[in-house]
Amino acid sequence: MSIESKTTRSITLDFYSLGDLRAIVEERPRLALDASVAEKIDAGAQYVQRKAQEDRYIYGVNTGFGSLCETRVKADEVETLQYNHVVSHACGVGDPVSEDVSRLVMLIKLLTFRTGHTGVSLETVQRLVDFWNHDVIPVIPKKGTVGASGDLAPLAHLSLPLLGLGKVHFEGRIVPAAEALSKLGWDRLRLKAKEGLALTNGVQYINAIAAECLMDVGDLVGCADMLAAVSVQAFSASRTFYQAPYHETSYHLERRAVAANLRKLLEGSNHFELPTCNRSMQDPYSFRCIPQVHGAVRQAYGFAKTTMENEVNGVSDNPLFFPEQDLILFGGNLHGESTALALDFLAMATSEIASISERRTYQLLSGQRGLPSFLVHEPGLNSGLMIPQYTSAALVNQNKVLSTPASVDTIPTCQLQEDHVSMGGTSAYKLQEIVQNCWWVFAIELLTAAQAVEFNRGLRLSPITEGIVQQFRGEVSFLERDRVMSDDIEKAHDFLMHRAPAWVREWSLL
């Protein structure tokens, strides 16, 4: 799509929600700075340049960095200082993050710059906007941040292309930034006082990964209710556990939401009337406690979402400049503790929603409720769906190990000047892996539940879930006898990834 044909979206001083970030990254409109934002950025930059001429210590303007904060730099070395800061901090390792994550980092960085408190120049901010609009997206190696002092290494790699260094995604390839700048006829930028530090400071990198994970987890929590509804019917579970009066006794609104989703999804089914239904209505916890477990995950998701939105809309940098009050204030807005704790909490919650899904899969394979062992004709000759549950168990085990919080650790850096760090980068990487594993576990539950539905004689599916199963059967056929199951799992995974987000929105399951 050409730049001219794109819609334009202005970066304003408004509060940006997770939905706003998702829309911008997915639709990739042309960006522009609102006039009020441009004015604030320019005022902040001019204030910094004036203060840089004074005979005083201003960290990151005319001093070294970290424990070198009391080492003064000469006036004619300011540009070199900022250049050296960026290139020396570009120490990331590993495979690059996705282009979408790099875009999210750029977008969140623009939200930090829009207030003018960081002292970055309008020219530098506009170049980042130009990068976005011309699809020149910095390549950021995945690993290397401790989530305090800012995400120094990843953000340095974000900044290198402004200097004609590093690599970028451009025209469908990863190329040297100098090549892209030459093709566009752009000169490399010469950074002014504070700009190198403004570019690398803050936790926009871990916030970007948090935002992407939250988009996925939002889809996962809605999808979990949908899958559970299919499993509930396949297992001939009771209906008492999701009735409204039962949940009106609880003050957990998220439990009520899950129960309401189940009532919507299961309307019209006769699963609770079948002779295979437990007569005492005491189903295993993986069924009976769906509202409590799924609801708790929703609580964690809501906490993480609120934390992340507050983070990306604030100013993550140090020092901060307040021209109207003639103030320069030094502090710790470069620390990612809030994000790190939220990511660790969400990792545990996402691991749990995968764990209860695997337990439902296990129950469906257990030969109970009139279902054959491992959901296949002639069990013994055929193993049926026995081994997909092993795969699910392996993924759930990995999730449990990855749920160990990273944020409880700290390794001091920079000669003890930075003696407590968040380790939010590790929290972010772990959550990414857990989310990916969760989709595979969900795929195996869907594969299993759809098979069980067809063995549950006399079952009348609800209209919503009948549509889901019919569509699924268009992609994955009933398992008559043993075949290569990894193919079925992959098809189920692709089916969920492509369809579930739309279903979650269509039926308002979030």
Look at strands 173-176 and 8-11 and give their pairing.
unpaired
Q: Which residues are catalytic?
A: 59
Report the candidate in 56, 43, 53 with the shortest Cα–Cα distance to residue 78.
Answer: 53
- Cα–Cα–Cα angle for 388, 479, 239, rounded to 5 degrees: 75
Query: Which residues 6+ apart lie within 8 Å of 172 measured at CB?
Result: none
Query: Which residues 6+ apart lie within 8 Å of 174 measured at CB?
Result: 96, 139, 167, 168
Cα–Cα dist 258/508, whole Å = 11
Provide the CA 164 distance to its chain's centre, in angstroms: 30
Length of the chain: 510
Identify whether the C-beta of residue 372 lies closer than 8 Å to the C-beta of residue 455. yes
Identify whether the C-beta of residue 428 lies closer than 8 Å to the C-beta of residue 343. yes
The amino acid at 341: L
Query: Which residues 6+ apart lie within 8 Å of 89 measured at CB?
Result: 152, 153, 155, 156, 200
